[in-house]
A and B are shown apart, each in its own frame.
Chain A
Amino acid sequence: MGHVAAQTSPAAASTVESRSINDWLMRMHEASRKRSYIGTFVVSSGGAMSSAKIWHVCEGDQQMERVETLTGAPRSIFRHNDQVVTFMPDHKVVRTEKRESLGMFPQLLQSTDGRIADYYKVKQEGTDRVAGVEADVVLLVPKDSMRFGYRVWTEQKKGLVVKLQTLDTDGKVLEQAAFSELQLDAPVKMDKLLQMMGKVEGYRVEKPVLVKTSASAEGWVLKAPVAGFKPMSCYKRPVTANPGPGEEPLQWIFSDGLASVSIFVEPFDRQRHERESSLSMGATQTITRQLDAYWVTVMGEVPMATLKLFANGLERKK
């Protein structure tokens, strides 16, 4: 990758050059908490393309987002801080949930062990224009082959992320997300969005039943930790239809600060679980394994080899 510092002015270059990976990530994070905008967001992954119209508004420490999908089934998704409400007009169903992961940053940066900077380094790649906005191009390079890299386009003035690529270990683009159109500091009204978010008349309200637990309490351990990945949370999650007798599927979530991995464990069922397999879809990789009386699915935005470490490391507590 060429290091193109010449495109920025000397003064700007010095601030840009001296930013650490944490500075960059913090700046991107802050920008998303301070700017209001309206835009069209396009995600291209695994040969499929999706897009959505986005409204984003910040008032004080309150954040609100409205996402209207433009492709696939019609969905309206509202996010108010960590509360997420998804309207599915074709099913007349609305799903409400709390996404704790949305609140975990910036603790991810501040925790003393397993810091992002231990596993990724940052490299500035010059500047570019995305959706009419001047952006710094920043490469987040993994220090080992156990995670993917990211190329981030971050708006020059405040740092809003306007484009993001996930790169495989050879630097090939696995997935890309970008604004195709962006109106910064647009007049978006939070109370109006809140009103829309609360309009559930005529809809059946669904709340996914999630039981917070710990892997240890459920009898599972990872005998060898996977470098950089820390356990974040663990849930029992009943299946949507016909929950089978016995145990509910377990979801154990790990993160290295940028990439995340889910381990799903459910009772082995000869009828459904025929073959161990692996599947690659854009940035998301999946493998399945039989482990004694259990069926394990490991899924994450990491190389297949990393998923195998998780699968091989999982065992029943003695």
Chain B
Amino acid sequence: MKPSMQTSELISALADGQLGGEDFAAALHASRHDDSAVQCWDTYHLIGDALRSPHGARGADPVFLNRLNRRLAQEAAHGSAPLSAQPAVQEPPAPLTSHPGQAANDGEFRWKLVAGFASIAAVSAIAWNAAGLLAPAAAPQLAQAPALQQQVVVVASPQGPVVRDARLEELLAAHKQLGGTSALQEPSGFLRNATFETPRNAGR
């Protein structure tokens, strides 16, 4: 089997529709025989969806989020544990046709999957546990996945994707609503916040 890093690069390219011929076949082979490749595929698409979606990852597969949380816990415990050391949750790869549209890593969101994992581990330091403080809209989802302790939202930032949570969204909304005490507020600050708070606060 190819080293994990190479596999994840292949999957990354596959997700972007950049592969053809031998590479394409190799990626498909990997997706059938390498659990870590399947995980890469899921992760890659979830993050891509989260970056493109104003609703963040809230509609995401709870199984994935669960796994992401376990991975984060492991990263914290073992430092740089290899991806394949994880006991895989077996899931079929998503059909290729279900992810049309732009590449997950277009424009400034260009990043590699391996680097992506590293940055998720790094920003897990800023992810807050928000269980019990979730907005009502998120509650049904929580009920389906009782093991999910954290409402994780992956959003874009200049540093790459970061993980945020519902509680942080609430505080941010509060800051924007009441904290806009600025001489620039009336000319344009209100417009800035009104235009801006909506996608961030989509789940209320």
Interface residues of A (CB under 8 A from B): 25, 28-29, 31-33, 41-43, 45-48, 50-52, 54, 65, 67, 69, 71-73, 75, 77, 79, 88, 91, 93, 97, 99-102, 104-106, 108-109, 116, 150, 152, 160-161, 164, 177, 208, 210, 232-233, 235, 237, 239-242, 244, 251, 253, 255, 257-262, 264, 271-275, 277-282, 284, 286, 288, 297, 299-300
Give the chain A neighbours of B186 by CB distance below 8 A.
29, 32-33, 102, 105
CA distance A240 to B192 in the complex (A): 24
**Shortest distance from the beta carbon of A202 to any chain B beta carbon, whole Å:** 17
Q: Is there an interface contact between A28 and B156, defined as CB atoms closer than 8 Å?
A: no
Q: Which residues of B contact A277 (CB under 8 A)?
A: 125-126, 128
Other A-B pairs, 15, CB within 8 Å; known A73-B202, A284-B172, A286-B172: A31-B187, A43-B196, A47-B156, A48-B156, A101-B179, A102-B186, A233-B178, A233-B181, A240-B136, A240-B170, A242-B133, A262-B175, A273-B128, A280-B159, A284-B175
Q: How far is the CA of A61 from the CA of B180 in the complex (A)?
A: 21
Chain B residues near A104: list those with CB within 8 A: 181, 185
Q: A25 to chain B: which residues have CB within 8 Å? A: 183-184
Does B145 make an interface contact (CB < 8 A)? Answer: no
The answer to whether the Cβ of B195 comes within 8 Å of any Cβ in the partner chain is yes
Chain B contacts of A99 at CB under 8 A? 177-178, 180, 190
Q: How far apart are the CA atoms of A59 and B171 in the complex, in Å? A: 34
B54 to chain A, nearest CB (A): 3
Interchain CB contact under 8 A, A241 and B135:
yes
Interface residues on chain B, size class: 35 or more
Assembled-state Cα–Cα distance A93/B196 (Å): 19
The interface residues of chain B, by DSSP majority, are classed as: helix
Contact check, B135 vs A161: say whether CB atoms are below 8 A apart.
no
Residues of B within 8 A of A288 (CB): 128
Q: Contacts of B155 on A, CB cut-off 8 Å?
A: 46, 48, 281
A149 CA to B188 CA, complexed, in Å: 15
Closest residue of B by beta carbon distance from A56: B191
B204 in contact (CB, < 8 A): yes
Q: Of residues B139, B168, B187, which shows the largest number of chain A Cβ atoms within 10 Å of its Cβ?
A: B187
A47-B157, A69-B195 given; A278·B126 CB < 8 A: yes
Contacts of A300 in B (CB 8 A): 175, 179
- CB of B55 to closest CB in A, whole Å: 7
* Docked-complex contact A259 and B195, CB < 8 angstroms: no
Closest to A177 in B: B192
